[in-house]
């Protein structure tokens, strides 16, 4: 074992650095994505980014009946959760290419 182990270690470190750089780029791209969640057949739309920040809430005029405030709140909640679930799905899809089955809790 003369020097072979050290060369492999350097190669592995370079691969890890490249993977880290690629993951950071993918996370930046995710942050720029806009994901739309809907509820009530499109009556309520919530748009989130890849950082799970809600960017916009759209409510169709026909929903805004003062007697239906409780229903409106439920629709906004459902649309928000739909958008955030889609963010998780896209994040797992995108970042999964880096982990390829490795269990890395807390990585993202």
Let me know: does 103 contact 67? Beta carbons within 8 Å.
no
- Structure confidence at residue 9 (pLDDT): 87
Show me where the domains of the chain are located. Answer: 4-99
CA angle 41-42-44, nearest 5°?
A: 115
- Structure confidence at residue 70 (pLDDT): 81
> What CATH code is assigned to 4-99?
3.30.1310.10
pTM (global) more than 0.75: no
Mean pLDDT for back-to-back runs of 10 residues, the chain (108 residues): 70 90 88 90 88 86 78 85 88 79 58
């Amino acid at each position: 074992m003369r020097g072979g182990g050290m060369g492999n270690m350097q190669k592995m470190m370079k691969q890890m650095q490249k993977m880290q750089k690629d993951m950071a780029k993918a996370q930046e791209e995710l942050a720029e994505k806009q994901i739309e969640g809907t509820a009530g057949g499109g009556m309520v739309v919530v748009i989130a980014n890849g950082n799970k920040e809600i960017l916009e809430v759209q409510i169709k005029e026909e929903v805004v009946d003062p007697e239906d405030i409780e229903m409106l709140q439920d629709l906004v909640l459902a649309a928000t959760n739909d958008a955030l679930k889609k963010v998780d799905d896209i994040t797992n899809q995108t970042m999964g290419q880096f982990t390829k089955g490795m269990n890395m809790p807390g990585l993202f």
